[in-house]
């Protein structure tokens, strides 16, 4: 695992902003295959899409859930990378990373989600990692191999449904998909 950035260094212009992306507030454990695979494709495609359309979007990024792995008995256990002296968990391995793109001018948006676990099956992903209706088939502007498990399974959802499920952001009441 590597230190994954919620907001990528390349998303910022000034050195002080770029350096701030390395603070732990902006970092979470991330599998390197996922980071260099579909997640990188999502990040670069978002920049290209926004530039080509000449639009402004507000981007909300984060993580959701705790990743699990099967132990020797086949029982799934949550993955934590650090514990305090009393054995309490301190550093969770996120289940998924997400980016919410919101075009305020058009009140359109989309959530791009990447599964941060390259060691599980498609069946496990479909059962445990897809928690909103997948609208990926409606997106033509991302250059990804979204079902390639070794590069990090990825999908997209409507903003309002994602917010209802996760409760992570105030309701944006987005009217349409940003596609």
Question: Is 135 within 8 Å of 87 (Cβ atoms)?
Answer: no
For residue 59, what are the contacts with CB-CB under 8 A and spacing of at least 6?
7, 11, 46, 99, 100, 101, 102
Any idea how long the chain is?
Answer: 179
Q: Which two tokens stand for residue 73?
A: 């008995």
Annotated binding site for Mg(2+): 35
- Candidates 5, 76, 119, 168; catalytic one: 5
Known catalytic membership, residue 168: no
Spatial separation of the C-alpha atoms in residues 74 and 160, rounded to whole Å: 35
User: Which sequence positions are flagged as catalytic?
Assistant: 5
């Amino acid at each position: 695992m590597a230190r994954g950035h919620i907001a990528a260094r390349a998303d910022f212009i000034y050195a002080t902003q770029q350096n701030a992306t390395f603070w732990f507030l902006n970092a979470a454990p991330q599998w390197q295959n996922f980071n260099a695979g579909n997640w990188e494709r999502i990040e670069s495609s978002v920049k290209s899409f926004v530039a080509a359309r000449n639009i402004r979007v507000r981007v909300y990024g984060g993580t959701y859930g705790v990743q699990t792995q099967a132990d020797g008995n086949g029982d799934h256990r949550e993955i934590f990378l650090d514990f305090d002296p009393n054995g309490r968990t301190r550093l969770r391995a996120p289940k998924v990373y997400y980016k919410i793109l919101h075009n305020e001018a058009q009140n359109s948006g989309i959530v791009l989600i990447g599964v941060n676990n390259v060691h599980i099956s498609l069946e496990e992903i479909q059962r445990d990692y897809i928690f909103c209706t997948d609208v990926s088939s409606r997106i033509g502007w991302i250059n990804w191999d979204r079902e390639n498990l070794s590069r990090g399974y990825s999908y997209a959802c409507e903003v309002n449904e994602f917010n209802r499920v996760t409760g992570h952001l105030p309701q944006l009441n987005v009217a349409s998909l940003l596609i």
